[in-house]
């Protein structure tokens, strides 16, 4: 039986079932997974269908509905991170062929929210909306390195097998990343590419996102890598400042 309490949480638990691996569910599969009674589940499904969050086709199961697409459009238009970072993504890919991404950190997920691509070949497997690995790649290190020590150590311990390195080695690598202000990873997420990322920080220095450039490793030179590192470090800092100024203006005007 599910331990989820409260109708709001129970409805959200239904939406949380939908993932890239399981984009479609029958009502019976949901009932077994969540432990809800049939009348309760059907009541929640009716609410979600009427609101457009779910839809069901004949001879098929439930899938996410058009309201999700509508909210994605609104998110693209209103997200302050995208507004603050869009020009930097364009400038970054104009200066260096590759895929520039803004990746938001929320809960315990890394999620691309915006990107620009100036590479003639596919360099990224993670477009907007697809969660990224938490224990691999430059983006992961750029975020984890700036987490409070207690949270950082807990996450590293929880995902130690995925890091494929002893816990103390990973923590030392994160300390080096924080000292340098930028993370570099060769082929850890997508083979044949190098990722360079730096954190976007809130006023309390907590990481809220990362700016990353993914480039073809075969064409990378030490001089170009040094230039990318400096550029991304500076752009991420500028985005952080813009977001803090925007929040301050809203607080004053509010």
Tell me the per-residue pLDDT of 112-127, one tens digit each, with 9 for 90 and over.
999 999 987 766 778 8
In this prediction, residue 252 has a pLDDT band, given cuts at 50, 70 and 90, of: very low
Q: Which residues does residue 183 pair with via DSSP β-bridges, in sequence order?
A: 197
Q: Tell me: pLDDT of 249 over 90.
A: no
Contact call for residues 123 and 193 (beta carbons, < 8 A) = yes
The pLDDT value given to residue 190:
85
Q: Tell me: pLDDT of 246 over 90.
A: no
Mean pLDDT of 213-231: 95
Domain residue spans in the chain?
7-67, 79-253
The pLDDT value given to residue 126:
81
Mean pLDDT of 145-153: 93
What is the percentage of the chain residues whose pLDDT exceeds 70? 93
Per-residue tokens: 9:
């949480």
Mean pLDDT of 235-245: 92
CATH of domain 7-67: 1.10.10.10
Q: Tell me: pLDDT of 232 over 80.
A: yes
Identify the helix (H) or strand (E) that includes residue 50: helix 38-50
Mean pLDDT of 173-183: 95
Contact call for residues 46 and 63 (beta carbons, < 8 A) = no
Per-residue tokens: 11:
């409805």
Alpha helices in 80-148 (DSSP H): 80-95, 138-144
The pLDDT value given to residue 29:
95
Cβ neighbours, 10 Å, residue 147? 19
Q: State the Cα–Cα distance between residues 102 and 85, nearest whole angstrom.
A: 7
Q: State the Cα–Cα distance between residues 53 and 245, nearest whole angstrom.
A: 35
**pLDDT one-digit tens code per residue, 161-177:** 888 788 899 999 999 99
Mean pLDDT of 97-115: 92
Q: 79-253: CATH homologous superfamily?
A: GAF domain (3.30.450.40)
- Give Cα separations from 122 to 111, 166, 188, 237, 250 (angstroms): 19, 32, 16, 27, 39
For the chain, the average pLDDT equals: 90
């Amino acid at each position: 039986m599910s331990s989820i309490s409260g109708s709001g949480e129970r409805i959200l638990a239904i939406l949380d079932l939908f993932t890239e691996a399981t984009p479609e569910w029958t009502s019976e599969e949901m009932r077994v997974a969540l432990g809800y009674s049939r009348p309760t589940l059907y009541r929640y499904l009716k609410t979600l269908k009427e609101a457009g969050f779910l839809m069901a086709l004949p001879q098929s199961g439930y899938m996410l509905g058009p309201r999700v697409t509508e909210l994605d459009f609104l998110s693209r238009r209103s997200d302050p991170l995208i507004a603050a970072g869009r020009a930097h993504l364009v400038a970054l890919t104009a200066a260096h062929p590759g895929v520039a991404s803004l990746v938001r950190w929320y809960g315990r997920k890394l999620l691309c929210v915006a990107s620009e691509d100036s590479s003639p070949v596919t360099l990224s497997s993670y477009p907007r909306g697809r969660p990224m690995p938490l224990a691999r790649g430059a983006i992961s290190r750029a975020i984890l390195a700036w987490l409070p020590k207690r949270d950082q150590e807990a996450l590293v311990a929880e995902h130690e097998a995925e890091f494929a390195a002893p816990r103390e080695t990973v923590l030392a690598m994160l300390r080096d990343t924080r000292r340098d202000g930028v993370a570099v990873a060769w082929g850890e997420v997508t083979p044949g590419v190098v990722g360079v990322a730096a954190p976007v920080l809130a006023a309390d220095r907590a990481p809220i996102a990362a700016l990353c450039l993914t480039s073809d490793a075969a064409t990378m030179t030490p001089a170009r890598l040094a230039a990318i590192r400096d550029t991304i470090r500076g752009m991420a800092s500028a985005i952080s400042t813009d977001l803090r100024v925007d929040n301050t203006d809203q607080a004053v005007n509010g």
